[in-house]
Amino acid sequence: MIKIGQSMHPNWINGDLNKLDEELRQFKDAGAQSCELVLQGLDVVIGARIIESRQDAIIKILRDYDFDYTMHMPHGLNLLDQENLEVFLKIFRVSIDFARAAGIKLLNYHAGRSRIDDKKKPDDKAATDESAKAVEDSANGVNENPNDEAKPDEEVAKPDPKTLIQNEIAQIKTLASNAPDIMFCMENAQFGTEPEISAGNDASGMIDYFKQVDQPNFKLTFDIGHSYLCHNGDGAATLEDMKQLLPYIGHIHLHDNCGFKSDARDFGGQRLVTGAGDIHLPLGWGSLPVEDALALLKDYDGIVNLEIEQRFSAYYSECIALVRENLR
């Protein structure tokens, strides 16, 4: 049976649990049956450790709602980032503990990514798009370990792409096999204009990754909006990917955009005006073939999680109704 959910907004909640409660109530009133929490924003894992009092307070709120809960790992968590890998793995492990305590059944994470270049400058963090900013924020957050300090003048040779991805697969396999009660889902998240190495770049890379992780509690998240951006607004290509990936998909992310790949900065909503990038619109506001995509989900058994920006909260209920109508 398909359940329809909506993601919380970490930047809006920003640690305020009254706002978490307010969002959950909004989602419930809009007709959602599940909710995707986002680890950052809850302030429950700090310095890769659980703060028990926060965990207790969050669980108390979550129990007031009859949702299926899933959780998005921090957007900056990147298992191809060799410099921060240990702390990212630690965050993954404590997130499993938090998930168990809070009754969260599924952890979603973005496929690791790494710039395509032979050498990497450790201080090269001058990227300007939002996703790169998230990576940077996360890296800054974990860089308090003095051993991790960037050395500006040195260049570090990077392992080859295949080895990096093989390492990522091995790490996920270990995490998943040690937590058979939690579903792990790797999401396609490549939509910037910079070429990057990532198993989430295309359907064949994702299927290959799935087969190599080879755990009963590992599946793929297909973010339909990300795929549409990846294909520069080619809806047929997104539907083709979706058909190919369906046997391996355990989770769906759905939001609209204009199929216009961009690293442009937002400047207070400007990207909405131009329609540039990963703008998480209400369904039907962009050009994603929403109904054709939903028509492919007749045999899907899982959650269709809407990731619509908080500024469009007035439209949650009509988006949920549209999904429900098209899944009938």
Binding flag, residue 251, Zn ion (CB under 5 A): no
Nearest to 34 by CA among 325, 274, 323: 323
Query: 37-56: which residues touch Zn ion (CB under 5 A)?
Result: none
DSSP 140-180: HHHTTSGGG---TT--EEPPPHHHHHHHHHHHHHHHHHH-T
Q: What are phi and psi of 114, to 5 degrees?
A: -150, 135
Q: Pick the piece of the chain touching Zn ion (CB under 5 A) from 138-146, 149-157, 160-168, 247-255.
A: 247-255
Instruction: Give the binding range for Zn ion (CB under 5 A) out of 10-18, 24-32, 129-137, 250-258.
Output: 250-258
Q: Per DSSP, what are the bridge partners of residue 253?
A: 223, 305
256 binds Zn ion (CB under 5 A): no
- For Zn ion, the nearest residue by Cβ is 253
* Residue nearer to Zn ion on the CB measure, 72 or 158: 72
Total site size for Zn ion, rule CB under 5 A = 2
The interface mask with Zn ion, positions 173-212, x = CB under 5 A, is ----------------------------------------
Site for Zn ion in 110-169 (CB under 5 A): none
Phi, psi values for residue 247, rounded to 5°: -60, -15
Dihedral of CA atoms 175, 179, 181, 185 in degrees, nearest 10, equals -10
Span interacting with Zn ion, options 123-131, 143-151, 154-162, 246-254, rule CB under 5 A: 246-254
3-state secondary structure 45-103: EECCEECHHHHHHHHHHHCCCCCEEEEECCCCCCCCCHHHHHHHHHHHHHHHHHHHHHC
| Shorter beta-carbon distance to Zn ion: residue 5 or 235 | 5
| Residues pairing with 109 in the sheet | 186
Contacts of 86 (CB under 8 A, 6+ apart): none
- Nearer to Zn ion by Cβ, of 48 and 104: the residue is 104
Of 34, 35, 182, 15, give the one whose Cα is nearest residue 95. Answer: 182
- Show the tokens assigned to 320: 């949920």
| 253 in contact with Zn ion (CB under 5 A) | yes
Q: How far is the CB of 226 from Zn ion (least distance, A)?
A: 6
- Considering the complex, state which of residue 158 and residue 222 has its C-beta at the smaller distance from Zn ion: 222
- Of the pair 253, 271, the CB lying nearest Zn ion is at 253
Residue 48 or 186 having the CB closest to Zn ion: 186
Kindly tell me which of 158 and 278 has the beta carbon lying closer to Zn ion: 278
- Mark the segment that binds Zn ion (CB under 5 A) among 85-93, 162-170, 221-229, 291-299: 221-229
The angle at the Cα of 92, spanning 214 to 161, to the nearest 5 degrees, equals 60
**Binding range to Zn ion, per CB under 5 A, among 41-49, 91-99, 215-223, 239-247:** 215-223
Residue 187: CB minimum distance to Zn ion, A: 5
Q: Which of residues 222 and 315 has its CB atom nearest to Zn ion in the complex?
A: 222
> Is 223 an interacting residue with respect to Zn ion (CB under 5 A)?
yes
Q: Which residues bind Zn ion (CB under 5 A)?
A: 223, 253
